[in-house]
């Protein structure tokens, strides 16, 4: 059935670099416990791959011949999740060890071969709960380097698909003879190819690279909620900028963010691409420094250019800036949700970041003080800085806000002209909406906050 797979290779414990000292204690607990109960128990996936590469694994995935219900019986701290792909989560405080039962079905079945609880629709796997042997489990995985097992029974590494060789060569290769078929089974594998290429610095094997451009549109058949998870993994993993560039290179970004891609592809200015790239670069840096990152900010960043354009269209139709920004945000979000869902708990703060942007242009009276007290101020200010750095907003305006935050209370009053005398004197100048503050004139002259990039 798989004539192109090299024979299974078993590397004994003294001939590979995986040490139990580098495996999470909780993962070891799960492995030992399953073994003690008479089941097979192996580490698989990213954990094994990353340990062999000398990297710190993000999480540890366990594969076993125990059924999900049996796993739940063994571990009290266990929950079964997933319909499409049922698996057990064993909870240890904040750490979750994912335990998956060996799957069968292999790679590359046709629609009419629907054995047991594996179900395909138009070649896409919509349910994958047909259990199988360890060998079958290896062959239904995505990339060869993700199909390496570390066996707790004898501490050996098992390679069914040539993953060790590919790991050494820095190559991402789909298991099976027909990459197109594997992408059709699950189009998310295209995004995974990009993610691992960015994260590991690996090359995508030419045969697996070629279909990416043509098959990208299959992502349209993937549930938007699943794509949300994948977008976070792609762009919030420390190598988001590289992932973004690769996604665009393969034409996949446009499948996820069509409105943004439309703006980037037909840009008449450099700043939209500079803005997104800088933002993603900053995010990568924050992750490398172990600082928190927010999905709301990420999506605000990715969708800003379509929002900004829509904003100006609505301004031209006579809406006031605040109303225009609210409507622009709603319109862009509504279209985006058809592709990649964004849960409300992220889309609400995302829209606030946008809606606060026009308020940065109001520098007079009590308004700066009120804006600075807004719970979303910090994120919105960071957003403004990024806009200024990429040449879209006026740097003088961003600078005014930087100084405003550092200023003492009396200095702030002076800056925004809140003392009675100043106010009376300055009020007429505030007529254009850009405000009578000391930076007001230059901010207004520079096109204000939501600038036209000129
Ligand atoms: P990460 O470091 O991001 O956790 P990972 O390779 O462990 O990378 P997971 O999403 O945790 O990725 O999946 C664990 C393993 O399950 C993968 O290594 C792969 O063997 C298998 N797998 C995951 N998603 C798919 C898929 N869509 N198709 C086939 N196999 C998959
Ligand atoms: Mg993993």
- Averaged over 320-349, what is the pLDDT? 98
Can you give the pLDDT at residue 431?
A: 35
Q: Are 142 and 182 in contact (CB under 8 A)?
A: yes
Taking the centre of ligand 1 as the mean of its atom positions, its distance from the CA of residue 293, in whole angstroms, is 23
Q: What token pair was written down for 340?
A: 């990649």
Helical packing angle, 271-288 and 258-265, nearest 10°: 120
- Which ligand 1 atom is at minimum distance from the Cα of 49? 6
Measure the N-to-C terminal CA separation of the chain; round to a whole number of Å: 61
Number of neighbouring beta carbons within 10 Å of residue 67:
15
178-231 pLDDT per residue, tens: 999 999 999 999 999 999 999 999 999 999 999 999 999 999 999 999 999 999
Sign of the Cα torsion 179, 182, 188, 193 reads negative
- Averaged over 362-367, what is the pLDDT? 94
Entry pTM: 0.89
Sign of the Cα torsion 43, 46, 50, 55 reads negative
- Which ligand 1 atom is at minimum distance from the Cα of 58? 2
- Averaged over 136-148, what is the pLDDT? 96
Higher-confidence residue of 323 and 126: namely 323
Can you give the pLDDT at residue 450?
A: 59
Pick the residue whose CA is nearest to atom 13 on ligand 1.
45
Contact residues of ligand 1, CB 6 A cut-off: 45-46, 58-59, 61, 141-142, 146-147, 186, 188-189
Q: What token pair was written down for 10?
A: 């078993």
Query: Which domains occur in the chain, in start order?
Result: 1-177 (3.30.460.10)
pLDDT band per the 50, 70, 90 thresholds, residue 107: low
The answer to whether 364 is a known catalytic residue is no
Can you give the pLDDT at residue 452?
A: 44
Question: Secondary structure of 21-86 in the HEC alphabet?
Answer: HHCCHHHHHHHHHHHHCCCCEEEECHHHHHHHCCCCCCCCEEEECCCHHHHHHHCCCEEEECCCCC
Pick the residue whose CA is nearest to atom 4 on ligand 1.
46
pLDDT band per the 50, 70, 90 thresholds, residue 128: confident
Q: What angle do CA 292, 298, 299 make, to 5 degrees?
A: 145
- Which has the closest alpha carbon to 295: 240, 249, 374? 240
The answer to whether 399 is a known catalytic residue is no
Q: What token pair was written down for 179?
A: 């990459």
24-83 pLDDT per residue, tens: 999 999 999 999 999 999 999 999 999 999 999 999 999 999 999 999 999 999 999 998
- Averaged over 259-282, what is the pLDDT? 92
pLDDT band per the 50, 70, 90 thresholds, residue 97: very high
Can you give the pLDDT at residue 429?
A: 38
- Mean pLDDT for the chain overall: 89
Can you give the pLDDT at residue 417?
A: 84
For the cut 70, the answer to whether the pLDDT of residue 233 exceeds it is: yes
Question: Which residues, other chains included, contact 154 with Cβ-Cβ below 8 Å and sequence gap of 6+?
Answer: 12, 13
Half-sphere exposure of 198 (CA within 13 A, CB side): 25
Q: Are 171 and 202 in contact (CB under 8 A)?
A: yes
For the cut 60, the answer to whether the pLDDT of residue 108 exceeds it is: no
For the cut 50, the answer to whether the pLDDT of residue 441 exceeds it is: no
- Which has the closest alpha carbon to 395: 451, 435, 341, 333? 451
For the cut 90, the answer to whether the pLDDT of residue 442 exceeds it is: no
d(Cα 370, Cα 225) in Å, to the nearest integer?
Answer: 36
Q: Are 41 and 64 in contact (CB under 8 A)?
A: yes
State which H helix or E strand residue 300 sits in: helix 295-316
- Averaged over 133-137, what is the pLDDT? 94
d(Cα 59, Cα 56) in Å, to the nearest integer?
Answer: 9
- Which ligand 1 atom is at minimum distance from the Cα of 47? 7
Considering only 221-235, 255-269, 385-399, 416-430, which range has the smallest mean pLDDT?
416-430
d(Cα 239, Cα 201) in Å, to the nearest integer?
Answer: 10
Higher-confidence residue of 129 and 46: namely 46
Higher-confidence residue of 447 and 390: namely 390
Q: What angle do CA 296, 277, 311 make, to 5 degrees?
A: 60
Can you give the pLDDT at residue 122?
A: 79
- Averaged over 99-119, what is the pLDDT? 67
């Amino acid at each position: 059935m798989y004539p192109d797979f090299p024979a299974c290779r078993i590397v004994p414990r003294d001939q590979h670099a995986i040490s139990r000292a580098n495996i999470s204690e909780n993962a070891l607990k799960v492995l030992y416990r399953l073994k003690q109960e008479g089941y097979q128990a192996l580490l698989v996936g990213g954990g094994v791959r990353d340990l062999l590469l000398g990297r710190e694994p993000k999480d540890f995935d366990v594969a076993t011949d125990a059924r999900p219900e049996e796993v739940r019986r063994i571990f009290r701290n266990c929950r079964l999740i997933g319909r499409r792909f049922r698996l057990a989560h064993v909870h240890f405080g904040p750490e979750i060890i994912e335990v998956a039962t060996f799957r069968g079905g292999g790679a590359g079945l046709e629609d009419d071969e629907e054995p047991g609880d594996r179900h395909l629709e138009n070649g896409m796997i919509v349910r994958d709960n047909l259990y199988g042997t360890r060998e079958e489990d290896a062959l239904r995985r995505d990339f060869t380097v993700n199909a390496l097992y570390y066996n707790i029974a004898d501490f050996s590494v098992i390679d069914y698909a040539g993953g060790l060789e590919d790991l050494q060569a820095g190559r991402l290769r789909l298991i099976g003879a027909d990459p197109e078929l594997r992408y059709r089974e699950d189009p998310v594998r295209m995004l995974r190819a990009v993610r691992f290429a960015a994260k590991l610095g690996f090359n995508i094997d030419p045969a697996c690279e070629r279909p990416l451009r043509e098959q990208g549109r299959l992502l349209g058949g993937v549930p938007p909620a699943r794509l949300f998870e994948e977008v976070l993994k792609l762009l919030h993993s420390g190598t988001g900028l590289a992932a973004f560039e690769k996604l665009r290179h393969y034409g996949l970004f446009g499948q996820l963010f069509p409105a943004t891609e439309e703006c980037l592809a037909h840009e008449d200015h450099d700043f939209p691409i500079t803005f997104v790239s800088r933002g993603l670069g900053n995010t990568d840096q924050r992750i490398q420094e172990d600082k928190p990152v927010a999905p709301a900010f990420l999506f605000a960043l990715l969708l800003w250019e379509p929002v900004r354009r829509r904003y100006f269209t609505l301004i031209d139709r006579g809406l006031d800036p605040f109303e225009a920004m609210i409507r622009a945000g709603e319109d862009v979000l509504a279209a985006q949700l058809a592709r990649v869902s964004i849960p409300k708990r992220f889309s609400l703060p995302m829209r606030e970041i946008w809606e606060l942007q026009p308020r940065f242009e109001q520098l007079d009276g009590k308004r700066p003080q009120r804006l600075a007290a807004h719970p979303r101020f910090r994120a919105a200010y960071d957003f403004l800085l990024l806009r200024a750095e990429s040449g879209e907003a006026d740097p003088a305006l961003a600078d005014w806000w930087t100084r405003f935050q550092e200023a003492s209370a009396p200095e702030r009053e002076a800056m925004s002209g809140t003392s009675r005398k100043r106010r009376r004197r300055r009020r007429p100048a505030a007529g254009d909406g850009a405000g009578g503050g000391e930076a007001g004139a230059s901010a207004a002259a520079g096109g204000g906050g939501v600038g036209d990039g000129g």
